[in-house]
Amino acid sequence: MISRRDLFSHLAMAGLVARFAPADLFAQAPGAAQRFGKEKLLVRSLRPPDFETPVALLDSFITPIEHFYVRSHLPAPASLDAASWALKIGGEVDAPVSLSIDEIRKLPAVTITMTLECAGNGRSFFDPAVAGIQWEKGAVGTARFTGARMADVLKRAGAKATGKNVEMHAADRPLGTMPAFVRQVPMAKAMHPDTLVAYDMNGQPISAVHGFPLRAIVPGWEGAYSVKWLTALNVLDKDSDSFWVATGYRYPTRRVAPGAAVDAKDMAPLVGLAVKSLITRPAAGASLPAGQVTVAGFAWAGENDISKVDVSIDSGATWQPARLVGEQAKFAWRRFEHAFAATKPESYLILSRATDAKGNVQPAVAQWNPSGYLWNQYDSVRIEVK
């Protein structure tokens, strides 16, 4: 059984305990996401655009563009012109080069099906609360990204063996004193054949809010590695001193008590996504007739494969293995399904728990951390069978 405290946190997740209701805020900006073609998404911030996907819209293996979450720290670049776009490759290279989108499109094209998730997805469920966008469950989605291998692009400039990291620069423009969105990826991951500079998303040119005309795709790693509006790759023989590398996206290297301050020396860069599952059906709070109920959703674990998903229909007292079904792709979530007979009127707290191929198990309570990253505890929905 799960403890009282855990149960409380699951009830909060399932929306059964009073919490700040962001829906009131959205009402003030009807259709605010419309001009981005994202009218069904929840507006967490309008400027810059931060839009969350309602869980019910995450029920398909590929997330349609109009339902795909948006996370931007800074306003998008004012002008986006593919014809004049240049990707500059410099730093620790034999000869710096500048490539046009046409030149990048002429390199061998690779398509990667990938689950992209914001490190802060689920942040709103941490107790004590932490600052930042108060995402619930929908800062995640799966898309097919097509582009050139980052390795092929780096080879065009002759990246040197002394290269340790590849710094990624973008065209979004910081407001006031905000630091520019500069990230780095270690050389080994940059050179990995699945790491891309992508120009298409779900078979169409990447849209403006998702990073047109070019973005990095760093599969399996938290979303902020996949830099949008990519303008430069700068090979470094050291670590980048950018704010977003040196200070941002850091996670404790040891377990910390909820709410505790963590020393900078005990923090390391966040890398891969955590093992996690999400129930996309039935909806939380659904009222269903007695009969067969199918619980379904997705499970993912960054660079690791999913090996199993267990479902509990009795608040965690017992668990049954769900069936893993549908498409399997290395960096994409996996569909799970579990049907059960709900014979009499009853309230069910349904939980899901994923395990990855390395044996990591989704925990009952996510590990609290100062920035509220990688919230990944068992998913839960309460339903009423009438």
Q: Which residues bind ligand MTE (CB under 6 A)?
A: 68-74, 116, 118, 170, 172, 181, 210, 223-224, 226-229
DSSP state of 322: P
Q: Answer with the entry of Mo ion, ligand MTE, none that 73 interacts with (C-beta below 5 to 8 A by kind).
A: ligand MTE
Q: Does residue 49 touch Mo ion according to CB under 5 A?
A: no
Burial 295-327 (b: 16+ CB within 10 A, else e): bbbbbbbbbbebbbbbbbbebbeebeebebeee
> In this structure, how many other beta carbons lie within 10 angstroms of the beta carbon of residue 182?
18
Q: Give the nearer residue to Mo ion in terms of CB position, either 72 or 355.
A: 72
3-state secondary structure of 27: helix
Q: Answer with the entry of ligand MTE, Mo ion, none that 69 interacts with (C-beta below 5 to 8 A by kind).
A: ligand MTE
Q: Give the nearer residue to Mo ion in terms of CB position, either 122 or 282.
A: 122
Q: Give the nearer residue to Mo ion in terms of CB position, either 71 or 123.
A: 71
Number of chain residues interacting with Mo ion (CB under 5 A): 4
Minimum separation from the CB atom of position 86 to ligand MTE (A):
16
Q: Report the candidate in 273, 333, 338 with the shortest Cα–Cα distance to residue 299.
A: 333
Question: Which of 67, 71, 192, 335 forms a contact with Mo ion (CB under 5 A)?
Answer: 71
The answer to whether the CB of 383 falls within 8 A of the CB of 315 is: no
**Which single residue brings its beta carbon nearest to ligand MTE?**
223
Q: Give the nearer residue to Mo ion in terms of CB position, either 226 or 277.
A: 226
Q: Does residue 141 touch Mo ion according to CB under 5 A?
A: no
Minimum separation from the CB atom of position 181 to ligand MTE (A):
4
Q: What is d(CA 361, CA 304) in angstroms, rounded to the nearest whole number?
A: 12
Q: What is d(CA 42, CA 69) in angstroms, rounded to the nearest whole number?
A: 9
Minimum separation from the CB atom of position 201 to ligand MTE (A):
8
The torsion angle over the Cα atoms of residues 326, 285, 17 and 138, rounded to 10 degrees, is 30
Q: What is d(CA 381, CA 288) in angstroms, rounded to the nearest whole number?
A: 13
Q: Answer with the entry of ligand MTE, Mo ion, none that 170 interacts with (C-beta below 5 to 8 A by kind).
A: ligand MTE
Q: Give the nearer residue to ligand MTE in terms of CB position, either 130 or 295.
A: 130
Binding site for Mo ion (CB under 5 A): 71, 118, 223-224
